[in-house]
């Protein structure tokens, strides 16, 4: 199956700093990628849709200036958490649908655990 | 709007027991239905899916049948193993779109 990677897998940062998380589709091209946030023992909350070559689409209640998304190429999307605070600590997961006929299926990255001190 | 409802967990079973995790959905149109599994500390993996009514998805001994009449997609396995311990998410996507709507997840613990 298709593979999606994320980097880093874990990051610890000080409050006020910015953190960049990368999401890569390793063996397929993805014009669209999705970013989710998962709180402990809860479901995934869709944050935004990353679109290659255009602006990201954010879900209601998600701050655009806080969570910057750049879809630099057909295989890379980045999420930057700007001026991170402890409440931003969470598990961030990206996903990408394949570009083939089976567009309903999405493949998820392994996630990035962000801890803001 | 679209929504997915899963049974609350955690579900604790003995090895070789029968597993059922209930999932019902509300959606406009004809959604595709999915079960994803998340092992501790990892991201989600697609377990199985069904794209139309009466389809049965199956993988690794797990099965789920798309029931349009009851708007359900219950996950079953005849004999669980300790290695099946994980969180299971039911999800849907509306045809033609890529966005997934997830249920809250059900934690499964399998004990010897």
Q: What is the pLDDT of residues A67-94, one digit of tens each?
A: 999 998 999 999 999 999 999 999 999 9
The whole-number average pLDDT for the span B65-94 is: 95
Cβ-nearest to A111 among B43, B49, B89? B43
Has residue B31 got a pLDDT over 70? yes
Tell me which chain B residue has its CA closest to the CA of residue A45.
B102
C-alpha dihedral sign at B78, B79, B83, B88: positive
Interface touch B51/A104, C-beta < 8 Å: yes
Which tens digit of pLDDT belongs to each residue from A12-64? 999 999 999 999 999 888 889 999 998 877 788 899 999 998 899 999 999 99
Q: Which residues of chain A neighbour B42 with C-beta distances below 8 Å? A: 110-111
Q: Which residues of chain A neighbour B34 with C-beta distances below 8 Å? A: 105
Interface A-B: count of C-beta contacts within 8 A: 53
HEC secondary structure over B42-64: CCEEEEEEECCCCCEEEECCEEE
Computed over every residue of chain A, the mean pLDDT equals: 90
| Cβ atoms of residues A7 and A25 within 8 Å | no
The residue among A66, A62, A25 whose CA lies nearest residue A46 is A62
Q: Which residues of chain A neighbour B89 with C-beta distances below 8 Å? A: 43-44
Residues of B with CB under 8 A from a CB of A: 32, 34, 36, 42-46, 49, 51, 89, 93, 95, 98-100, 102-105, 107
Share of chain B above pLDDT 70, in %: 97
Q: Which residues of chain B neighbour A110 with C-beta distances below 8 Å? A: 42-43
Burial A98-115 (b: 16+ CB within 10 A, else e): beeeebbbbbbbbbbebe
Share of chain A above pLDDT 70, in %: 94
Q: Model confidence at A103, in pLDDT bands (50, 70, 90)?
A: low
Q: What pLDDT score does A72 carry?
A: 86
Q: Which residues of chain B neighbour A104 with C-beta distances below 8 Å? A: 32, 49, 51, 93, 95, 98
Q: Model confidence at A99, in pLDDT bands (50, 70, 90)?
A: low
Q: Model confidence at A102, in pLDDT bands (50, 70, 90)?
A: low
Q: What pLDDT score does B29 carry?
A: 81
Share of chain B above pLDDT 90, in %: 74
- How far is the alpha carbon of B78 from chain A, nearest alpha carbon, in Å? 25
Q: What pLDDT score does A39 carry?
A: 81
The whole-number average pLDDT for the span B2-22 is: 94
Has residue B98 got a pLDDT over 80? no
Which tens digit of pLDDT belongs to each residue from B45-54? 899 999 999 9
Residues near B28 by beta carbon (within 8 Å), at least 6 away in sequence: B2, B94
Cβ-nearest to A105 among B43, B49, B89? B49
Interface touch B100/A49, C-beta < 8 Å: no
Q: What pLDDT score does A101 carry?
A: 54
């Amino acid at each position: 199956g298709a593979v999606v990677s994320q980097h880093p897998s874990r990051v610890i940062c000080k409050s006020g700093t910015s953190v960049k998380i990368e999401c890569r589709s390793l063996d397929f091209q993805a014009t669209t990628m999705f970013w989710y946030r998962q709180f402990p023992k809860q479901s995934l909350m869709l944050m935004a849709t990353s679109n290659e070559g255009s602006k990201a689409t954010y879900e209601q209640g998600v701050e655009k200036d806080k969570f910057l998304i750049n879809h630099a190429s057909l295989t890379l999307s980045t999420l930057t958490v700007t001026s991170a605070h402890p409440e931003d600590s969470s598990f961030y997961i990206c996903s990408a649908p394949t570009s083939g006929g089976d567009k309903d299926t999405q493949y998820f990255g392994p996630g990035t655990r962000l801890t803001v001190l | 709007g679209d929504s997915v409802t899963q049974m609350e967990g955690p579900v604790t079973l003995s090895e070789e027991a029968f597993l059922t995790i209930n999932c019902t959905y509300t959606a406009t149109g004809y959604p595709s239905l999915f079960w994803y599994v998340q092992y501790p500390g990892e991201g989600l993996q697609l377990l199985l899916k069904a794209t139309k009514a009466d389809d049965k998805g199956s993988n690794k001994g797990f099965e789920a049948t798309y029931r349009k009449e009851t708007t359900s997609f219950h996950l079953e396995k005849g004999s669980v193993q300790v290695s099946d311990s994980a969180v299971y998410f039911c999800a849907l996507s509306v045809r033609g779109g890529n966005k997934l709507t997830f249920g809250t997840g059900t934690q499964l613990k399998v004990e010897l």
